[in-house]
């Protein structure tokens, strides 16, 4: 799974039945997220116990589905209200590592026009 800085990452706002595969998850993206499943964006789903994650994305000529299960811990999913949560690439990495992305902040990106 190659993620560029421009790719948007969305976390579903409620637990998902992990028996769903590509077709079921892509229907959720279209209905619940109100987004296009083949947009190239990443869509993150989690189960109610928060020990499993699936990431659905379009990869050039077809859907790909990435799955992770943790054995003795849980993913810390931020509480959202009524809509999916957009996170960045760095926050996705933190989430997959088991960190609480709602409490972490990275350094602000800097851009310079002149160096000296």
Residue 112 is predicted with a pLDDT of 85
Question: What residue segments make up the domains of the chain, in order of their start?
Answer: 9-96
Query: Rounded distance, CA 80 to CA 56, Å?
Result: 20
Query: Rounded distance, CA 30 to CA 19, Å?
Result: 18
Listed in sequence order, the residues at least 6 apart from 85 whose beta carbon sits closer than 8 Å to its beta carbon are 10, 11, 13, 78
Residue 6 is predicted with a pLDDT of 79
Helix, coil or strand: residue 56: strand
Query: Rounded distance, CA 105 to CA 12, Å?
Result: 21
Other Cβ atoms closer than 10 A to 101: 21
Cα Rg, the chain, nearest whole Å: 15
Listed in sequence order, the residues at least 6 apart from 86 whose beta carbon sits closer than 8 Å to its beta carbon are 8, 9, 10, 11
Query: Rounded distance, CA 55 to CA 64, Å?
Result: 8
Residue 2 is predicted with a pLDDT of 65
List, for residues 58-93, the tens digit of each pLDDT value: 998 999 999 999 999 999 988 766 788 999 888 999
List, for residues 10-26, the tens digit of each pLDDT value: 999 899 999 999 999 99
pTM: 0.85
List, for residues 14-64, the tens digit of each pLDDT value: 999 999 999 999 999 998 888 999 999 999 999 999 999 999 999 989 999
Structure confidence at residue 102 as a pLDDT band (50, 70, 90) = confident
- By residue count, the chain amounts to 116
């Amino acid at each position: 799974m190659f993620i560029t800085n421009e790719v948007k990452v969305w976390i579903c706002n409620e637990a998902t039945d992990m028996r769903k595969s590509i077709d079921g998850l892509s229907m959720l993206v279209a209905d619940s997220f109100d987004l296009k499943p083949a947009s190239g964006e990443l869509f993150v789903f989690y189960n109610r116990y928060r020990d499993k994650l699936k990431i659905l994305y379009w990869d050039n000529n077809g859907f790909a589905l990435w799955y992770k299960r943790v054995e003795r811990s849980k993913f810390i999913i931020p509480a959202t209200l009524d809509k999916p949560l957009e996170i960045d690439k760095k926050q996705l990495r933190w989430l997959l590592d088991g960190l609480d992305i709602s409490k972490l902040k990275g350094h602000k990106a800097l851009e310079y026009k002149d160096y000296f």
